[in-house]
Chains A and B, each alone.
Chain A
Amino acid sequence: MPQPVEFLQCSATNYYGQAPKGNVLSREINKKPTPRVEKIRNRYFDTKSSASVEFPYWYTRKWEGLEGEVPIVRRAEALRAGFEHLTPSIFPGELLVMGKANYLRGSYPMPWLSEAFFLAKEDEMYKEALEAGKVSSDEVTTMGQGGGNVTKSIGNVMSIAGKFGMRKEEMPMLLNIAKKWHNKSVDDVGHKYEKMVPGYNTKEEIMRAVICMFDSGYTLPQGREVMNYYYPLQYGIKGIIEICNEKLNGSAGFPDMDRIYFYKSVETVMLGIQKWIRNYAEEAKFMASLEQDNDQLNEYLDIAERLQWLAENPPRDFRDAMQMVWTFHIAVLNEDAISGLSPGRLGQVLYPYWKKDMDEGKINKEQTLELLEAMRMKFTEIDCFASMGVVGGVLSGNTFNNLCLGGLTKDGESAANDLEILIMESSQTCDTPQPTLTLLFDEKLPEDFLLKGVETTKVGTGYPAWVNNRVAMEFILENFKHEGIELEEARAWAIGGCLETSAGSWMPLEFNGETHHIPGGSAPATSVGVHFISVPKVLEAVLYDGLDHRTGRRVYPAHGKKLETYEELWETFKEYFSLTVEVLTLTNNIQHDLWGKISPSIVNSMLKPDCLETGKDISHKGCRYNRTFNVEVSGGVTLANSLASLKKNVYEEKNFSIKKLKDAIDANFGYFTAQETGSFSLIEQKQTEKYENWLKIHTQCLDAPKYGNDDKYVDNIFREWQIWFAQMCSNYKSLYDEPLYPCQISVSTHAPLGAVTLATPDGRLSGTTFSDGSVSAYPGTDKNGPYALFNSATCYNHSLSQNSQLNMKIHPSVVKGREGSKKFLEMIKAYLRKGAFHAQFNIVDSRMLKDAQNNPDKYRGLMVRVAGFTQYWVELGKQIQDEVIARTEYEEI
């Protein structure tokens, strides 16, 4: 291999304005949680992600004994067995208790969904899965090596799925269970039926080439949605069981008898959850029996009493309500592999309880703050067990429990309240990744509330993200009007997952003698359907006549065109992209249909209006709103920049031919690939000895118009893509006979998808990340300041899509002090007033990130915003770390 000559001519970081000098500037706001929560957080920092086989063992054992039972009832019994047998663990100092598993960061595999990926790589089943293209994304993903990730087996602990530690003695049982689900899991059965889809082979090649990141039905079939806590809050578990029994009496023997099985299933799982809660109550009593410290002893007894009460009844006060909300949150997480299960507008849901307690003097603000901090820790402890490609390549270990603030009430007034102010304060004092916050910006929100949001953003955690309430409502009204949504109900929306606009409803909570209309999700999982199409990779296939250059395999039918005009190139791109969406929609529909048959949602279905009313689960369109399947893409700006370069250099100025460009791409413009250098952003790349041969063409590609500079040449290309994409999605229908719509978030996919993509015509090098988000500029290419970037980003109507996503990095000095906050808020408002949907910010000195990359042990608590989520720096893979460092840092706004 030729020796590296020198680095690409870039500074260590991209700056807009003067690069900062002197010492690295830390963040302006630096608060601490209460000593109790600080202790809990330190314990968390020292805890490894761990997986247990307990739930899957009992689930499978029960499932096997019920062959011949109605499938949904069989699943309910299996879930009940899982819940009833979870070993309770209560950790000292906790104010909220219960977890997914007995470990602090516990989770477990769900082999009924997919069993192959967590098996040892040499196992035959894994090889089979790899051959079928099902785990290809795992192969190109890097997992964060620090923090709580168990990336290597040590002693009696085995590393599985690249992140989780599992006790060695549990592994034989895990493999035993996995084998029981072979050919029975949603993944395996779905795979069998997917083969019946016309174009299935193309789908498999698309997966193998990692043009699509993953199958949604096998991996994370639920999530990216908003919880609805109404039923347990209003009725309690006993009340829900009574509803089921009443409904059962009115269903048996009547037409539409599927309702019987649904109600029976809900009742069954509720009994399991009741036992689960009671097991924790018993454990609290046991802990109390060993306790010497009186305060701690009384807390254990309080916990025991509360859990005993909540095992049957609705909450009496704020603490009860928080525990109930938390219990049902993890109850849903325990029924499926889920990321992005968002608590939604939790401050508004809990407000009636908190207000009553405050009025009666049962709680004060300091106690509230500590409880909210404790809640933050519980959400942060959530882990999602899925494959390495999903957990590392998409989620970066994040679970996307998005808590929304602000927005409007049912009557159209500001919905902001004092509890939400404390929620923001708790995210400053206890700055953890979860729950992430989103502020639903509306002009009706009070200025102080908005300034509290800005102050929180300045902490540097990357939240709250700022989203435009009116743009979201426009999207909701347009996409759910055929299901009867009206303006009043559209106001109940919230973000599910990192940035998925989700429909909600107002639920009439009766508490303290009043009816409170609380918001909650009323639509099922979104970001199901077609998951993360790599649009630069589709363009690559166009240039290479349908071949995946990396693997040498044919993905698409050869188009055989000479691509003599830009229009011909663009039309061919649209053909390949459309074919991709078509085959992935059909195969994903089969996956989700089988998910509904083999592994239907019961807990989440019960919670979502109007499943309990109608007796239909989520997979039978029981939700009030059901148009939630979407088409997700990654690398849209890299696509636009590449098309602009092709249009200008090849077709207009004829600087070089397509053939010459492909030669340059094959040679990676004279640079080593990212895989060779181990650096995944455009900075710090190394030249080969042949660099000079490609210098001119590379310069022309880099100099072509770039998105993010208010340059109509490239912005019009971006706009054309956006409008076409939004329209084409509706040509395809979900299994619920609902048209798809576009979703534009990159999460972490811009890293692994970039890793398998050759150099692109915009000058990006092979293996480096794509542009992040959907309207973020490619790092270092936005040279005209934030307002030029805003003009580029708003060159199309954002309500056409479920979301848009803009990430910006700003040096802390730029927004310092009260005046800095006001200036910052005005900038955010200016962007949103232009019709933008979303913006989020890293307030950080990039030199600190670089130092953290080199010295991770010094930065265990450092967090950054990636693309819709915040994560501990040390738990991010190097691909994403490099990309975040490379983002343009704004030194002036």
Chain B
Amino acid sequence: MKHYDCKYYLTIDAFKGLCKRDKTNITADDEACEHFEKAKMCANCSHFKLTTDNMGTCMQKYDAYPRMNALTCTDFQWS
């Protein structure tokens, strides 16, 4: 898994961010460390179904994509 997919990833820009745990600078697409925890993202939600490589559906009626943040989504349910 990548830093980008981690609960502790604080995004600064599209390339990089900080680790919320230890404040180190990290690159979004680098491999995550042993403290990795899954972030709330559509890909991790039971309502999400992948339809193509990078697109899917939410609750079978909305378009969605797997790596979309879902921290603020009230319908999010861990898959």
Binds B, one of A81-89, A499-507, A744-752: A81-89
Q: Is A49 a contact partner of B63 (Cβ separation < 8 A)?
A: no
Supposing A166-B14, A167-B14 touch, asked if A156 and B71 sit within 8 A by C-beta, the answer is no
Which residues of A have CB within 8 Å of B54? 169, 172
Q: Mark A147-172, 1 if CB is under 8 A from B, else 0.
A: 01010001111000000011101101
A58-102 near B? 1/0 per residue, CB < 8 Å: 000100000000000000000000001111110110000000001
In the assembled complex, the CB of A349 is this many whole angstroms from the nearest CB of chain B, namely 31
Query: In the complex, A649 Cα to B68 Cα: how many Å?
Result: 65
- B55's partner among A50, A105, A176, A290 (CB-CB below 8 A) is A176
Bound-state Cα–Cα, A581 to B9, Å: 52
For A92, what are the chain B residues with a Cβ–Cβ distance below 8 Å?
18, 23
Query: Which chain B residues border A86 with CB–CB below 8 Å?
Result: 72
Residues of B20-79 contacting chain A, CB below 8 A: 20-21, 23, 28-29, 54-55, 62-69, 71-73
Contact of A169 (CB < 8 Å), options: B12, B13, B66, B72: B66
Chain B contacts to A: CB under 8 angstroms: 8, 10-15, 18, 20-21, 23, 28-29, 54-55, 62-69, 71-73
Binary contact readout A284-298 vs B (1 if CB under 8 angstroms, 0 otherwise): 001100100000000
Beyond A89-B11, A173-B68, 5 extra complex contacts between A and B, CB < 8 Å: A47-B12, A50-B13, A165-B14, A170-B65, A173-B64
- A858 on the B face (CB < 8 A): no
Q: In the complex, which residues of chain A have a beta carbon less than 8 angstroms from the beta carbon of B14?
A: 48, 50-51, 103, 150, 157, 165-167
A173 and B15 contact, CB distance less than 8 A: no
Q: Which chain A residues lie closer than 8 Å to B66 at the CB level?
A: 169
Contact A176 B15 (CB under 8 A): no
Whether, in the assembled complex, A36 has its beta carbon less than 8 Å from a beta carbon of chain B, the answer is no
Could you tell me the distance between the alpha carbons of A88 and B10 in the complex, rounded to whole angstroms?
10
Which among B8, B15, B65, B68 is the interface contact of A157 at CB below 8 angstroms? B15
Q: A172-B54, A173-B55, A173-B63 are in contact. Are A165 and B13 (CB under 8 A)?
A: yes
Query: Is A105 a contact of B10 with CB atoms below 8 Å?
Result: no
Beta-carbon nearest neighbor of B69 in chain A: A87
Q: How far is the CA of A150 from the CA of B20 in the complex (A)?
A: 25
Bound CA–CA A404/B41 (angstroms): 43
Q: Is the CB of A102 within 8 A of B69?
A: yes
The answer for the CA separation of A721 and B68 in the assembled complex, in Å, is 55
Distance between Cα atoms of A542 and B37 in the complex (Å)? 68
Bound form: Cα–Cα A105–B15 in Å: 12
* Residue of B13, B28, B69 touching A104 (CB-CB under 8 A): B13
The residue that A279 contacts in the complex, of B8, B10, B72, with Cβ under 8 A, is: B72
Query: Contacts A176-B63, A287-B20: A48 and B55 contacting too (C-beta < 8 A)?
Result: no
The answer on a CB contact under 8 Å between A172 and B55 is yes
Q: Kindly list chain A residues whose C-beta atoms are within 8 Å of the C-beta of B65.
A: 169-170, 172-173
User: Chain B residue with minimal CB distance to A177?
Assistant: B63
Check: A790 CB closer than 8 A to any chain B CB. no
Q: Is the interface of A mostly helix, strand, loop or mixed?
A: mixed
Using an 8 Å CB-CB cutoff, how does the interface string of A13-30 with B read, 1 for contact, 0 for none? 000000000000000000
**Dominant secondary structure of chain B at its interface with chain A:** loop
CA distance A102 to B20 in the complex (A): 14
A57 sits at the interface (CB 8 A) = yes
The reply on A593 being an interface residue by CB < 8 A is no
Interface Cβ pair total, 8 Å cutoff: 81
Q: Is the CB of A165 within 8 A of B18?
A: no
The residues in A between 168 and 187 inclusive whose CB is less than 8 angstroms from any CB of B are: 169-170, 172-173, 176
How far, in whole Å, are A167 and B12 apart by their CA atoms in the complex? 12
The residues of B that contact A173 with a CB separation of less than 8 Å are: 55, 63-65, 68
List the 10 closest A-B pairs by CB distance, nearest first.
A165-B14, A50-B14, A48-B13, A50-B13, A87-B69, A157-B14, A169-B67, A85-B72, A173-B65, A104-B12
A659 close to B (CB within 8 Å): no
Q: Nearest chain B CB to A822's CB is how many angstroms away?
A: 44
Residues in B with CB closer than 8 Å to A169 are 54, 65-67
* Complex contact B15–A48 (CB within 8 A): yes
In the complex, A565 Cα to B13 Cα: how many Å?
60
Check B62 against A61 for contact (C-beta < 8 Å).
yes
Within the complex, the shortest CB–CB distance from B75 to chain A, in Å, comes to: 11
- Asked if A617 is at the interface of the complex by the 8 Å CB criterion, the answer is no
Let me know if B13 and A103 touch, CB within 8 A.
yes
Interface centre among B10, B21, B62 (most CB of A within 10 A): B10
Chain B: CB-nearest residue to A173: B65
- Which residues does chain B contribute within 8 Å of A54, judged by CB atoms? 68-69
Determine the residue in chain A with the shortest Cβ distance to B58.
A61
Bound-complex Cα distance A150 to B55 (A) = 25
Asked whether any CB of chain B lies closer than 8 Å to the CB of A444, the reply is no
- Chain A residues contacting B71 (CB-CB under 8 Å) are 87-88
A192 interface hit (Cβ, 8 Å)? no
Q: Point out the residues of chain B lying under 8 angstroms from A85, CB to CB.
A: 72-73
Query: In the complex, what's the smallest C-beta–C-beta distance from A668 to chain B, in angstroms?
Result: 42
Closest to A276 in B: B72
Q: Are A156 and B28 in contact (CB under 8 A)?
A: yes
Q: In the assembled complex, which residues on chain A have CB atoms less than 8 Å from the CB atom of B69?
A: 54, 87, 102
**Interface flag for A481 (CB, 8 Å):** no
Q: Which residues of A contact B11 (CB under 8 A)?
A: 89, 102-103
Do the beta carbons of B13 and A49 come within 8 Å of each other? yes
Tell me how far the C-beta of A199 lies from the nearest C-beta in chain B, rounded to whole angstroms.
41
Q: Does A43 reach chain B (CB closer than 8 Å)? A: yes
CA gap between A105 and B12 in the complex, in Å: 8
**Bound: A88/B11 CA distance, A:** 10
- Distance A551 CA – B28 CA, assembled complex (angstroms): 45
CB distance from B27 to the nearest CB of A (A): 9
B12 close to A87 (CB less than 8 A): no
Beyond A102-B69, A176-B63, whether A43 also contacts B55 by CB under 8 A is no
Give the docked Cα–Cα distance between A89 and B28 (Å): 15
Question: Would B68 and A105 count as touching, CB distance under 8 A?
Answer: no
Assembly CA distance A681 to B72 (angstroms): 50
| A contact residues around B21 at 8 Å (CB) | 290
Instruction: Select from chain A the residue with minimum beta-carbon distance to B66.
Output: A169
Please report the C-alpha to C-alpha distance between residue A84 and residue B62 in the assembled complex, in whole angstroms.
17
Pairs A–B under 8 Å by Cβ, sample size 7: A89-B11, A155-B15, A155-B29, A157-B14, A166-B14, A172-B55, A290-B20
